[in-house]
Structure 1
Amino acid sequence: MGVQDFLAPTAFVDSAAPNVVEFAQRVAGAEADPVARAVRLYYAVRDDLVYTPYCDFQSPDTFRASAVLARGSGFCVGKAAVLAAVARAAGIPARVGFADVRNHLCTPRLRALVGGDVFYYHGYTELAPDGRWVKVTPAFDRVLCDKFEVRPLEFDGRADSLFHPYDRSGRLHMEYLRDRGAYADVPMSDIVATFAREYPRLMEAGAPAAVTQFRKEAGR
């Protein structure tokens, strides 16, 4: 598939949804340069949507961009889908990418629910504002990064921006273990099957009443 094939809406990267189109227009509609549009959209998705790993993973709305945007919160895959959707709505080719990672700085509750520190299908977004793919992770918002003492990821629209390997104190933060590739749409069935096998307790926990629960756990 060529770069331009990643502009059309899909089931989960539903870039034609009214709230997705409105968000893209409000955040980046006045910006003529596609690289600058990509940067504006990244920061808006990163910080306007609360990150939470506690979701109803059986629900398609956990993975669908328009639903995550309407809810104002989501986990890494949902936020990656939002960034891909608003980018497409702004005329920027976009796709969703996945990797297995080791996260050294998760909370005790999340570690217990996951059964360790390996996270499968960590979601990120690939954008091609100037015809060349760059990888960017919009998952952790600035407030959460401050609580974890991790520098929030910056993005200039031209270079990859994945997770920092160390936090502000020099402790290990994130290791990428296996790249699972990039897709035009979110492979929900594969993700749910993997989570059900690897994270049965997390699947059973569901979503808490407060989307800021993870922030509270991370508070220092």
Structure 2
Amino acid sequence: MDYLQASYYLDFNHKNIKKITSKFNDGGLSDKEKAIKLYTFVRDNWLYNPYDITLLKDHYKASFIAEKPSGNCIEKSVLLVACLRGLHIPARLHLGKVKNHIAVDKLTEKFGSNELTPHGMVNVYLNDKWLKLSPAFNKSLCKKFNVPPLDFDGENHSFLQQYNSKGNLFMEYLDDYGHFADVPLDFMKANIKEHYPHIFDTDESITEFNL
């Protein structure tokens, strides 16, 4: 499988993505250093917003996401995968199901559950191994909820914020759907409709909702 390839969604040759990758395309930086800097850039420059979800195909293009001020976990992961590939670093999307335990009132109100699925992460290939990382929660949001931000050192996984600074359970992973070379939109649609059927009415043509 080619995890360096561009696609309809991972359109890293688009000017919006090149504008980002140009910041990290210094020949003096190693792939590890580029990945660390890029991860932090995507984590903190797009605010995390789990309440704005779309099933429209073109809204999952990295170039489209790049122009937004915020994104959900999948959107931010798609953007990071595209940018990593644009820097010739192998990367792929990883999906799972998570449960939040802090500040869940709004989540429960909107989704009927404090479980979020599919939850987006990223796999990056560095130094002959795949590393799992999550760029979802920006630093300012983590500060608000008293949770240490997820830093990435280029050598270890960085995807699970299990506890906040007080030792209270923050997040747990319930299921792992595996990795994908491209955005699996059909799988995502089926997964969302299965877990949140109340969001959709009987009109199957509805493909977008804002929560």
SS at match of 2:66: helix
Question: What's 2:209 paired with?
Answer: 206
Gaps in structure 2 of 5+ consecutive residues: 202-207
Quick one: distance in 1 between partners of 2:39 and 2:99?
23
Alignment partner of 1:16 out of 3, 7, 13: 13
Gaps in structure 1 of 5+ consecutive residues: 209-220
User: 2:190 is matched by which residue type in structure 1?
Assistant: A
Question: What's 1:183 paired with?
Answer: 180
| Cα deviation, residue 58, structure 1 | 2.3
User: 1:44 is matched by which residue type in structure 2?
Assistant: F
TM-score normalised by the chain length of structure 2: 0.90
Q: Tell me if structure 1 keeps the 8 A contact 2:148–2:165.
A: yes
SS at match of 2:16: helix
Question: What's 1:145 paired with?
Answer: 142
TM-score normalised by the chain length of structure 1: 0.86
| Cα deviation, residue 33, structure 1 | 0.4
1:99 aligns with 2:102: no
Quick one: distance in 1 between partners of 2:78 and 2:101?
24
Q: Tell me if structure 1 keeps the 8 A contact 2:55–2:185.
A: no
Question: What's 1:81 paired with?
Answer: 78
Q: Tell me if structure 2 keeps the 8 A contact 1:123–1:137.
A: yes
Tell me which protein shows more strand as a share of its residues.
2
Q: Tell me if structure 2 keeps the 8 A contact 1:62–1:74.
A: no
Instruction: Provide, for residues 76-101 of structure 1, a one-character-per-residue CA deviation record: whole Å limited to 9, x for no partner.
Output: 00000011000000110000001111
| Cα deviation, residue 115, structure 1 | 1.2
Question: What's 2:123 paired with?
Answer: 126
Tell me which protein shows more helix as a share of its residues.
1
Quick one: distance in 1 between partners of 2:11 and 2:52?
20
| Cα deviation, residue 32, structure 1 | 2.6
Matched residues, number: 204
| Cα deviation, residue 203, structure 1 | 5.9
Q: Tell me if structure 2 keeps the 8 A contact 1:61–1:68.
A: no
Q: Tell me if structure 2 keeps the 8 A contact 1:113–1:201.
A: no
SS at match of 1:127: strand
The percentage of aligned residue pairs carrying the same residue is 33
Quick one: distance in 2 between partners of 1:132 and 1:25?
25
Q: Tell me if structure 2 keeps the 8 A contact 1:8–1:15.
A: no
